[in-house]
Chains A and B, each alone.
Chain A
Amino acid sequence: MRIEGSYRFDAPPERVWAVLQDPAALAACIPGCQTLEPVAEHEFAATLSVGVAAFKGTYNGRVRVAELDPPHRYDLHVEGSGRTGFVKGVGHISLEPDGGSATQVKVVGDAQVGGPVLSVASRLVVPTAKMLMNQFFAAMQRWLRASPM
Chain B
Amino acid sequence: MYPAPFRYHAPRSLDEAIRLLAEHGDEAKILAGGHSLLPAMRLRLAQPKVLVDIGRVPDLSGIRLDGGTLVIGAMTTHREIERSSAVKERCPLLAEVAPHIGDVQVRHRGTIGGSLAHADPASDWPAAILALDAGLKVIGPNGERTIPARDFFVDVLTTALAPDEVLAEIRIPRPGRAGAYEKARNRASGFAVVGVAVAAEQQDGKVASIGIGITGAAGRPARAEAAEQVLLGRPASPDTLSEAAAQAAVGLDCTPDLHASAEYRRHLVQILTRRALSRALGV
Contact = CB atoms under 8 A, between A and B. Distances in A.
Interface string B39-64: 01101111110000000000000000
Interface stretch (A62-70, A121-129, A139-147): A121-129
A53 B257 contact: no
A54 B48 contact: yes
Interface residues on B, range: 20 to 34
Given A53-B158, A84-B45, A124-B156, 11 more contacts: A54-B37, A54-B41, A116-B45, A117-B45, A122-B258, A123-B122, A127-B121, A127-B156, A127-B220, A127-B255, A134-B155
Nearest to A84: B45
Interface residues on A, range: 20 to 34
Interface string A71-101: 0000000000001100000000000000000
Contacts, number: 64
* Prevailing SS type, chain B contact patch: loop
Interface in A112-137: 116-117, 120-124, 126-128, 130-131, 134
Interface string B256-267: 111100000000
A134 B40 CA distance: 25
A42 interface: no
Contacts of B156: 52, 124, 127-128, 130-131
A130 B253 CA distance: 10
A53 B219 CA distance: 14
Interface of B: 29, 37, 40-41, 43-48, 118-119, 121-122, 155-158, 218-220, 253, 255-259
A83 to B, nearest CB: 8
